[in-house]
């Protein structure tokens, strides 16, 4: 089999400008999907008047959007394995755009709900394909840094979306928020047509190593063999940009319009039924299940706060209008921005440090201790937020709590996603399907029940229980750190 069967050369050795342009387009796409999903919460007051419904009914357009973002992964990733990741990204962006246009002109709440489910189904593709393509493009030692940037844009969409929506809704009405999303998504689609080549690559050898670090060593050895270029001792001498200045192996522009035989599966769509079943095998893999739980429960905390802000801050004593609600949500994005320099780079640095202390033997579990920081900080954000609002204290204290909780959306994904991709380099895409679908289903369940939860428990007790759940889930990372290699060995036959 030729070295570049599925695409023009191993993406890990593409020129830096191609790899970073692909990363930028993926970040833009995931930002827009989450901006659209969560941003409309600032318009709930205006929408309640127009549609003559209560806030409880309006939360459905958020919860079902989160649901569609998640379950769509079970469709998009198997399809990408059959026909390629580039065509799936482009198709899903067109569906997202169609849903956005429908949202602009939806005459009823039920119609808007249908539009948001369709749009979110399209936008959900990038939540699993994005990390999978990042794994295609970057060597193991830079996984967490690249994925933290992706997580920054993912969470940034959820936090900046309400700010943008707040000002647009106050000046132009809530439909203009959807118009802006449609314009920005159309621009993203245009750039992806020209600057998002196929990253699927059928390697002419099978990984003998069980981790991505060992697989990368084989990729380097193959590169040295094909190009007669000595890159030194394994990964240690790979340049910071992760590519040794190799020109694109083929015609870039011809590669963009080549859509035949681009997936990992050589039989194409005939493999689609089999691909649909593959993510489910990770239900018996403790590392993947832990990633679902930890990512989902952190996302759930953010979704609960975001969906309840209009209900808690529009009435006295705060009397926030849509602009003020939007600005309040900006606090959470500040938390994400502060967390980013620590999240990805810290995880990568910690992994390299523990590898050196382990006689230069790398284990994916070396990333897990980075969860100590979100364990110590993030659940306290929920408690501070609930205490401040329930006691009618100054809103800036609640904003600090929101920011601390939101930091977990950068910390946790950068650790657990890079851990799974590191531990299962050849099956990482299938694991990411389960993780991204699962975490959205967890968030959906929490969001659907949050109105009844608040009514029955009260604000302080509800958020205290949520914080306790987060502590319990993050604490499970401790046994995974020590038992992870043994658990991976025991469950290897299932994957």
What is the tens place of the pLDDT at every residue in 328-344?
Answer: 988 888 998 888 888 87
Of 48-57, 146-155, 233-242, 320-329, the poorest mean pLDDT is in: 233-242
What pLDDT shows up at residue 232? 44
For residue 234, what pLDDT band results from cuts at 50, 70 and 90?
Answer: very low
Cβ–Cβ under 8 Å, residues 80 and 263: yes
pLDDT above 60: residue 205: no
| Average pLDDT value for residue range 128-147 | 83
What pLDDT shows up at residue 185? 98
For residue 3, what pLDDT band results from cuts at 50, 70 and 90?
Answer: very low
| Average pLDDT value for residue range 282-303 | 93
pLDDT above 70: residue 241: no
What pLDDT shows up at residue 495? 78
Of 81-95, 164-178, 288-302, 416-430, the poorest mean pLDDT is in: 416-430
Higher-pLDDT residue of 345 and 471 is: 471
What pLDDT shows up at residue 306? 85
For residue 203, what pLDDT band results from cuts at 50, 70 and 90?
Answer: low
pLDDT above 70: residue 4: no
What pLDDT shows up at residue 220? 57
For residue 145, what pLDDT band results from cuts at 50, 70 and 90?
Answer: confident
What pLDDT shows up at residue 385? 97
| Average pLDDT value for residue range 241-266 | 67
pLDDT tens-digit readout, 153-189: 988 898 888 889 988 988 999 999 999 999 999 999 9
What pLDDT shows up at residue 2? 35
What pLDDT shows up at residue 20? 93
Cβ–Cβ under 8 Å, residues 39 and 162: yes
Residue-wise burial string across 251-281, b where 16 or more C-beta atoms lie within 10 A, e elsewhere: ebeebeebeeebbbbeeeeebbeebbebbeb
**How far is CA 392 from each of CA 313, 319, 389, rounded to the nearest angstrom?**
10, 12, 5
| Average pLDDT value for residue range 76-82 | 92
pLDDT above 50: residue 143: yes
| Average pLDDT value for residue range 366-379 | 94
What pLDDT shows up at residue 5? 38
Of 20-24, 292-296, 345-349, the poorest mean pLDDT is in: 345-349
Q: How far apart are CA 430 and CA 189, in angstroms?
A: 25
Helix (H, G, I), strand (E, B) or coil at 31: helix
| Mean pLDDT score across all residues of the chain | 85
Higher-pLDDT residue of 278 and 471 is: 471
Of 135-149, 395-409, 429-443, the poorest mean pLDDT is in: 135-149
For residue 317, what pLDDT band results from cuts at 50, 70 and 90?
Answer: very high
- List the chain domain ranges: 11-200+279-494
Of 90-104, 107-121, 361-375, 376-390, the poorest mean pLDDT is in: 361-375
Cβ–Cβ under 8 Å, residues 99 and 113: no
Which CATH number is associated with domain 11-200+279-494? 1.20.1250.20
pLDDT above 70: residue 240: no
What pLDDT shows up at residue 146? 86
What pLDDT shows up at residue 238? 43
| Average pLDDT value for residue range 68-95 | 94
Of 64-68, 163-167, 400-404, the poorest mean pLDDT is in: 163-167
Residue 317: is the preceding peptide bond cis (ω within 30°)?
Answer: yes
pLDDT above 50: residue 209: no
What pLDDT shows up at residue 249? 57
pLDDT above 70: residue 239: no
- CA angle (334, 148, 138) in 5-degree steps: 155
pLDDT above 90: residue 262: no
pLDDT above 90: residue 212: no
């Amino acid at each position: 089999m030729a070295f570049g069967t599925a695409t023009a050369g191993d993406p890990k050795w593409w020129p830096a400008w191609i790899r970073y342009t692909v990363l930028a387009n993926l970040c833009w796409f995931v930002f827009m999907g989450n901006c659209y999903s969560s941003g409309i919460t600032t318009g709930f007051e205006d929408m309640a008047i127009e549609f003559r419904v209560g806030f409880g009914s309006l939360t459905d357009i958020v919860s079902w959007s989160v649901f569609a973002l998640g379950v769509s992964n079970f469709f998009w990733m198997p399809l990408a394995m059959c026909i390629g990741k580039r065509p799936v990204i482009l198709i899903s962006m067109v569906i997202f755009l169609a849903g956005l246009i429908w949202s602009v002109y939806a005459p009823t709440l039920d119609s808007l709900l249908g539009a948001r489910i369709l749009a979110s189904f399209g936008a959900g593709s990038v939540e699993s394909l994005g990390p999978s393509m990042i794994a295609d493009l970057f060597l193991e030692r830079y996984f967490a840094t690249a994925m933290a940037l992706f997580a920054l844009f993912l969470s940034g969409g959820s936090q900046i979306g309400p700010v943008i929506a707040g000002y647009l809704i106050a000046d132009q009405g809530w439909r203009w928020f959807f118009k802006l999303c449609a314009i920005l998504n159309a621009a993203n689609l245009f750039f992806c047509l020209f600057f998002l080549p196929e990253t699927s690559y059928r390697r002419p050898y099978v990984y003998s190593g069980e981790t991505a670090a060992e697989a990368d060593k084989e990729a380097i050895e193959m590169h040295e063999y094909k190009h007669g270029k000595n890159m030194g001792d394994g990964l240690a001498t790979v340049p910071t940009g992760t590519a040794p200045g190799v020109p694109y192996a083929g015609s870039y522009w011809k590669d963009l319009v080549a859509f035949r035989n681009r997936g990992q599966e050589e039989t194409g769509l005939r493999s689609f039924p089999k691909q649909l079943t593959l993510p489910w095998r990770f239900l018996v893999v403790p590392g993947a299940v832990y990633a679902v739980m930890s990512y989902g429960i952190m996302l759930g905390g953010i979704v609960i706060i975001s969906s309840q802000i209009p209900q808690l801050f529009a009435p006295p004593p705060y009397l926030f209008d849509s602009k003020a609600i939007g600005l309040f949500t900006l606090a959470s994005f500040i938390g994400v921005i502060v967390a980013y320099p620590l999240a990805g780079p810290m995880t990568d640095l910690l992994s390299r440090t523990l590898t050196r202390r382990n006689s230069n033997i790398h284990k994916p579990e070396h990333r897990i201790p980075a969860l100590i920081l979100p364990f110590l900080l993030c659940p306290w954000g929920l408690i501070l937020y609930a205490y401040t609002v329930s006691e009618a204290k100054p809103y800036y204290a609640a904003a600090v709590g929101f920011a601390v909780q939101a930091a977990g959306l950068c910390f946790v994904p950068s650790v657990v996603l890079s851990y799974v991709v590191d531990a299962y380099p050849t099956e990482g895409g299938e694991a990411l399907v389960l993780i991204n679908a699962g975490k959205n289903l967890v968030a959906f369940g929490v969001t659907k029940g949050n109105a009844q939860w608040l009514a029955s428990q009260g604000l302080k007790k509800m958020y205290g229980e949520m914080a306790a759940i987060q502590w319990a889930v993050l604490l499970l990372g401790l046994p995974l750190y020590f038992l992870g290699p043994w658990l991976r060995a025991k469950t290897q036959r299932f994957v």
